[in-house]
Structure 1
Amino acid sequence: MIEAELKARVHAPEAVTRALEALTGARVEVYQDTYYDRPDGSLESRDQELRVRTVHGQDGTRTVLTFKDAQVDEDSGSKPEHETRVDDAAAMHAIARGIGFVPVIAFEKRCRNYSFEARGRQMLATLVRVPEVDDSTFIELETLVEESDVDAALKDVLAVLADLGIGEGDLTREKYTDAVRAARRT
């Protein structure tokens, strides 16, 4: 499946939060993300990602292993995503290191997740803050689709963002990993 996703800066987070709350309740969660690569950086050079994410939320803690392949849509950065739940976070980190992957960056994201249906699709909107970067709020809006449906899905995602008051000029391809690296250099 392809994660057809658009990401944008949110200039009026309170208004967007109210609009999302009118659709559904939020899951408030803190993500602890660790990205891995081979020592030669070959995953990043092929636009691939390997991530171990531990999610702390009101329903407990869970860990997910995610592999994202190279993008299939250049404008949005949408990628095929393969994900599985992991029972033991410490063991997953040890396995990744044991088979030769190295952690390249780790950071925290504070998220409010909203699952809802719009335009005939299941959507997930996530309001994101990365505390060590700046005071910005981002929204990620995604739906899972077959590769043949990516263009239509992205049009629907863009329309839902517009309904939330997010314009095309607010869209960004900025990666959290790059923003955290830049913040740590200053």
Structure 2
Amino acid sequence: MTTGGRDVIEAELKAHVRDPAVVRERLDRLAAGRDEVYRDTYFDTPGAHLEAGDRELRLRTVVGPDGTRSLLTYKEARVDEASGSKPEYETDVGDPEAVRAVLNGLGCIEAIAFVKHCRNYEFIAYRRQMLATLVRVPEIDGTYVELETQVVGREELRDALGDVRAVLAGLGIGEGDLTTELYTDAVRARRS
């Protein structure tokens, strides 16, 4: 989901998927899936100040059936520790190499880069636009599901996360499957 504006929070939960075929079948009943490959590069200061402040700066190139597009995303620190939900600002990028040069020129360095294989599903549930993504990162064992919706302001976050939990339960994902581990941390651990 593309975000923008003030106080937009990505209300998101991420979970380990025990039976990817079953979850995929249930998602296929909700919406048509779209397979895409994400090439993610995270930037930080040489002293890792963004990561230390629980913030993220990411340049993503998405390759899918409709072509290739790139996005620049900035995520602020978590506003909900249990879910890891963060305010997010994202915009389309016409020339990712120019953005990379700008970030490098401003003193940012490439902190980590990796690939995600995703199957995305967009649908309405509980009167909210939802995005479910089945994720495989070749460097990490297992399959994950991310389910998100957007809210404006923190006062709506609790209800939105309740709706996200309800959709996950319908997919067979329980509270014990949830995780707040970041892909960046898992990839770094695997590489070390």
**TM-score > 0.5, shorter chain as reference:** yes
Alpha-carbon shift at residue 166 of structure 1 (Å): 0.3
Q: Among residues 143, 147, 151, which one is paired with 1:145 in the alignment?
A: 151
How is 1:117-132 mapped onto 2 (pairs within 5 angstroms)? Answer: 117-132=124-139
Q: For the residues of structure 2 that align with 1:43 and 1:178, how far apart are their CA atoms? A: 14
Alpha-carbon shift at residue 148 of structure 1 (Å): 1.4
Spell out, residue by residue over 1:125-149, the C-alpha distance to the aligned partner (whole angstroms, 9 max, x if none).
Answer: 0000000122x00000000002210
For 1:43, the aligned partner's letter is L
Gaps of 5+ in 1: none
Please state whether the residue corresponding to 2:179 is helix, strand or coil: coil
Alignment of 1:48 onto 2:55: yes
How is 1:17-166 mapped onto 2 (pairs within 5 angstroms)? Answer: 17-134=24-141, 136-146=142-152, 147-166=154-173
For 1:129, the aligned partner's letter is R
Gaps of 5+ in 2: 1-7
Spell out, residue by residue over 1:31-69, the C-alpha distance to the aligned partner (whole angstroms, 9 max, x if none).
Answer: 000000011111111110000000000000000000000
Q: For the residues of structure 1 that align with 2:34 and 2:73, how far apart are their CA atoms? A: 20
Spell out, residue by residue over 1:92-123, the C-alpha distance to the aligned partner (whole angstroms, 9 max, x if none).
Answer: 11111111100000000000000000011100
Alpha-carbon shift at residue 77 of structure 1 (Å): 0.6
Please state whether the residue corresponding to 2:81 is helix, strand or coil: coil
For 2:162, the aligned partner's letter is K
Farther-moved stretch of structure 1 (107-116 vs 143-152): 143-152
Q: For the residues of structure 1 that align with 2:155 and 2:63, how far apart are their CA atoms? A: 34
How large is the Cα RMSD of the aligned pairs? Answer: 0.6
Q: For the residues of structure 1 that align with 2:34 and 2:129, how far apart are their CA atoms? A: 16
Farther-moved stretch of structure 1 (91-100 vs 56-65): 91-100
Name the count of aligned residue pairs: 184
